[in-house]
Structure 1
Amino acid sequence: MIDATHDPARQSWVTSANGHADFPIQNLPFGIFSPNGGAPRGGVAIGEEILDLGAALALGLFAGAASDAAQAASGPTLNAFFALGAEPRRALRARLVDLLDAAGQEHATVERHAGALLHHAADCRMHLPAAIGDYTDFYAGISHATNVGKLFRPDNPLLPNYKYVPIGYHGRASSIGVSAGSVRRPNGQRKRAEEAEPSFGPSRNLDYELELGVFIGAGNALGEPIPIGAAAGHIAGFCLLNDWSARDIQGWEYQPLGPFLAKNFATTLSPWVVMPEALAPFRIAQPPRPEGDPAPLAYLMDADDQSTGALDLTLDVLIETPAMRAQGLAPHLLSRGSSRDLYWTFAQLVAHHASGGCNLNPGDLLGTGTISGPTPDSFGSLLELTQGGRAPLTLASGEERRFLEDGDTLIIQGRATRDGFASIGFGACRGTILPAPAV
C-alpha cells in the first residue's frame, strides 16, 4: 500500500516537519492533546506542531470519508476513529498530506489559518490516545524468553509450548499512562534466596521492558474468531511501550498463576499512534524460523502475513540519572534492538487472542513482550543486561546500575528507515522513577 503519501520528496509548509527525526509529512501520527487551558482533543503530529482536527473540521477542510474519519478522531479519545477501519484512515491521511504539502494547491489558503490549526507541541499536554478497555501483554521476543529462561533454567530455557503458541497474559489497563509521566516504585512482597521469610517493602529490582504497543481497531463479536488472513486489518496503529517490572516481587509471586503485582503498577506508552499506512514502506517478511522449529499451526499461518507482516524498526533504550542531569551529560544508551527479533507477527498475536472467541474492542491494547536481540547490546531489559543483577553496568557518569534507582529516567525511542523513503519515528516513551510510598 505504498502511495503518493510516502513520496520522500514531499515537503511541508510547516517547516519544522522537513527533515524531522520523527514527524515529517510522511508520518502524521494521531494522538490526544490539550493546548494550554484547553480540553483534550484529537490531533496529528507534524514536525514540532500539532494540527487540531476539530479546528480543521470547523474550517471545512474535509469532505466525504475523510470528514467522517476526522470527526471520529477529533474527540477526547481515538476509539471511534480506530473502529472505522482502514479505508477512512487512508482517506484522511491522503487529505492531510495534501493540506500540509508545501506544493499543495490549497497551501496558501490553509497556511493563512495556521494560527487556528496549529499548536506548538511543547506547549501542549499529551493524553492517552484511547480509552483502553483491556490490555494484553505477550511474550513474543524469543531472545528475551531465552535469556530470561537461562537465568532460571540453564539447561532448558524455553518451555515446550513457546514455539507453538503466542504466550500472553492479561494486564491491567487502569495503570497505563502516557510518556513524560512519573512512575511510583511499587511496594510488594519480596524474598531473597538467603531470607527465611518474605518481607513487604519497596521493590529492590525495578526494571523496564522494551516493547511495541498495538492498538486494536475494528473488533470482533464474542465467540467469533478473527481469521489470520484478516487479522492485520484489525490493527489501528502502533506505539512504543514500557511495561515496568518489579523483578523481585515477580520472582516471589509469579508461581503458579503468573505476573500480578509485579507488573500491574505501571505501563507507559508513547503518546502518538503511528498508523499502519505510514509504516507500509517498512514492512518486511517475517524472519525465517531456525531450522528444526515447528511451522505455525494452520490457524496462525497466512502466506501474505509471512511475506509482509513484520516491521523493520530500530528501538533504542536510554537512561538519564539525576547525576547525569546535574553534570549536563546526555542520556546513556543502554541498548539498541530491532522489531525483527519478534518470533510472532502482529497479526498472529491478534488472531491467537481471538481464536477462542475472545471479543477484542476498538482501543484495546496489545504489548509485544520484551524485544531483545541475540547480543547484549540489543537486550531489552536490565534483567538481561546485568544477568539478574550479578553484573552491574557502568554508565557514562561513572555510576553503576543493576536495576533502576529513584530519580532515574528511562527513555525508549523508535525509528523506521529504508533507502528511498523518508525516515519516521514514534516520539519518546519516557518515565521517571519516584520513591515508593512509605510503609
Structure 2
Amino acid sequence: MTAADLLPPDPPLGTALGVVAGAGRPGPSRIAVPVGGAYVDVGTLAAAQDGPHPTLLGAPTLDGLLAAGRPAWREVWEWLTDWLADPDRLAPYALPQAGVVPVLPFTVADYVDFFACEEHAANASAIIRAGAGVSGNWRHLPVGYHGRAGTVQVSGTPVVRPHGQRGPGDLGPTKALDFEAELGLVLGGRSRGPVPIEEALDHVFGVVLLNDWSARDIQAWESRPLGPHLGKSFATSISAWITPLDELAGAWLDPPARDPQPLPYLLGKADRGLDLTLEVRLNGERISTPPAADLYWTPAQLVTHLTTNGAPIRPGDLLGSGTISGPRRDQRGCLLELTWGGRDEFALSDGTTRHYLNDGDEVSIVASAPRADGSRFSLGEVHGTITP
C-alpha cells in the first residue's frame, strides 16, 4: 500500500469510522477509517502513535467506543482529524484492499424509525388516506414505530424480496417493493429517560445513511389499525461508515417554523436541523435529491421524545428519520411518492419504467454536507440490490 492509494475522492469522504473484516486484516475484524481507496487500521495506529483509547480502538467492533460517551468520542475525532490532514503518514497503517470488506460496525441495540418529514407525511397521507391530510397529532410530537434491530444490515448486503400477506387470502412475494431515503442516528452512552433536550445530542455518536426498505402492499394490508410490521421488518440497510457528529459542526441550521409550537420539553438550543443533501440512484441513475434540511423534527427532538416516557438509551440504539422528501417531485425520497402510490410510471433514461422495484435493481443513497469554510464532504454510501 502506497501513499497514492490514500488520495481522497471528490468530494472527499469526511472523517468516518467503521469496521472491516476479511483475509487481508489481522484478527477477526478491525475498526478502520476509509481514506481514498484504502482502509486505515485505527487500532494499530492508536497503539503505535499513542492515540487516545487504544483498547477501545483495537476492539473488533465500535460497541465499546459507543459505550464510552461523548468526551471519548471527541478525543478520538480530534485525533483522527489531525492524522487525516496528512494522509501520507497513514500509509504504514493501511490494510491490504484484497479480501477486506466493511461489515456492520456495531451491535444494534434497538431500532426506532420516525416519520419526521412534513413533505413525506403530507404526500403519504394524500396517497394512502385519500387526501385526508396529516393526522392531527403529527405536528405535536415526533411519530415513530419500533422496528426489528436484528434485520438491520450493512450496505451492500443483498435485499431478498419478502413474502407476506398482500390482501385477503393473498400470500406471496411483494409486488410493491420500495426504498426510503433516510438519515440514521447512532446513539451511545447510557441514560435512563427522560433525557432533556439540552443533553440529547450528547448521546448521538454520529450519523449514517439509512434505507428502510418497504413492501407497500404488505404494509397497506397489515397497517389497519396498527402501524408497520412485516412490510418493513425484513431489511433495513445502513452505511458501513459512521460520520461522527463533531464532523457535522458546519452543517447545523435553524429548525423550520412550526405551528403549533411544540411543548417545552421539545424546545431548546439543541433543536437544530442538519443541512444534508441526499441523492438517490437507481441502477446508477440519479432519480431524486431529498434535502434533510427540510425535516420538521430535529435529531435532538427525536432523542428526547424517545426517552420522555422513561425509556433508556443504550449503546448501539439506532434512530431513523423516516423518509426525507422535498417540495419538488425530484426531491421525493421513495417510489410511493415518485409514482403516487404506483399510479404513475416512473421513467428511467434507459427506456424502462418502474412502479416499484424490480429484481436486480440496485438502489444507492449518497449525501454531502457543508463545512464551516464552505467546502463540502461526503457521507458513507448505503446501497443494496434486490434479489428474488
Counterpart position of 1:181: 157
Structure 1's unaligned 5+ residue stretches are 1-12, 192-196, 321-330
Q: How far apart in 1 are the matches of 2:372 and 2:265?
A: 34
Q: Is the Cα–Cα contact under 8 Å of residues 189 and 198 in structure 1 kept in the other structure?
A: yes
Q: Alpha-carbon deviation of 1:418? A: 5.0
CA contact (8 A) 1:79 1:131 kept: yes
Q: What are the equivalent positions in structure 2 for 1:81-160 lying under 5 Å apart?
A: 81-102=65-86, 110=89, 114-115=91-92, 117-119=93-95, 123-160=99-136
Q: How does 1:284-323 map to 2 (within 5 A)?
A: 284-289=253-258, 293-302=259-268, 304-306=269-271, 309-320=272-283
1:208 maps to what in 2?
179
Matches within 5 A, 1:340-359: 340-359=293-312
Match of 1:434 in 2: 387
Report the TM-score, using the length of structure 1 for normalisation. 0.84
Instruction: Measure the CA separation in 2 of the matches of 1:211 and 1:272.
Output: 15
| Post-superposition CA distance 1:102-155 (Å, at most 9, x none) | 39xxx7xx45xx33x112557521111110011000000111110010013344
**Equivalent position of 1:332 in the other structure:** 285
Q: Distance in 2 between matches of 1:171 and 1:297?
A: 26
> Which residue in 1 is equivalent to 2:139?
163
1:236 Cα deviation after fit: 0.6
Contact 2:8-2:35 at 8 Å conserved across structures: no
State the shift of 1:264 in Å.
Answer: 0.5
Q: Does 1:74 align with 2:50?
A: no
User: Aligned partner of 1:36: which letter?
Assistant: A
Question: Are residues 92 and 430 of structure 1, via their aligned partners in 2, closer, same or farther at CA, if it must alter by over 3 Å?
Answer: same
Match of 1:317, SS? Answer: strand
| 1:421 CA drift (Å) | 3.9
Q: Do the aligned residues in 1 keep the contact of 2:335 with 2:341 (CA within 8 Å)?
A: yes
Report the residue type matching 2:261 in the other structure. Answer: A
Aligned-partner Cα distance in 1 for 2:211–2:273: 20
Sequence identity (%) = 39
1:2-58 CA deviation, whole Å, 9 max, x = no partner? xxxxxxxxxxx66744464242xxx22000112435421111122222211221133
CA distance in 2, matches of 1:35, 1:401: 37
- SS class of match (1:344): coil
Amino acid paired to 1:267: T
How many residues matched? Answer: 385
- Is contact 2:178-2:336 (8 Å) kept? yes
Larger deviation: 79-88 or 390-399? Answer: 79-88
Q: In 2, Cα distance between the equivalents of 1:125 and 1:181?
A: 11
Q: Could you tell me which amino acid in structure 2 is paired with residue 91 of structure 1?
A: E
* 1:14/1:100 contact within 8 Å kept: no
AA of the residue aligned to 2:198: G
| Whole-Å separation in 2 of the counterparts to 1:18 and 1:47 | 4
Query: Which position in structure 2 is the counterpart of 1:227?
Result: 196
Structure 2 CA distance, aligned partners of 1:80 and 1:231?
A: 20
* Match of residue 206, structure 2, among 231, 237, 259: 237
Match of 2:18 in 1: 31
Structure 1 partner of 2:46: 57
Change over 3 Å in CA distance of 1:314–1:52 after alignment to 2: same
Aligned with residue 330 of structure 2, among 372, 377, 386:
377
1:218 aligned residue (186, 189, 202): 189
Q: Which amino acid in structure 2 is aligned with residue 239 of structure 1? A: V
Structure 1 Cα separation of the partners of residues 342 and 298 of structure 2: 31
2:32 matched to 1:43?
A: yes
Distance of aligned partners of 1:350 and 1:373 in 2 relative to their CA distance in 1, 3 Å threshold: same
Whether the aligned pair in 1 keeps the contact of 2:251 and 2:372 (CA below 8 Å) is: no
Distance 1:418 1:92 in 2: 19
User: Contact 1:48–1:120 at 8 Å: present in 2 too?
Assistant: no
CA distance in 1, matches of 2:55, 2:35: 19
How many Å separate the matches in 2 of 1:340 and 1:246? 27
Q: Which amino acid aligns with 1:45?
A: P
Q: Conserved in 1, the CA contact under 8 Å of 2:22 and 2:99?
A: yes
CA pair 142-62 structure 1, distance change in 2 beyond 3 A: same
**Which AA in structure 2 matches 1:252?**
W
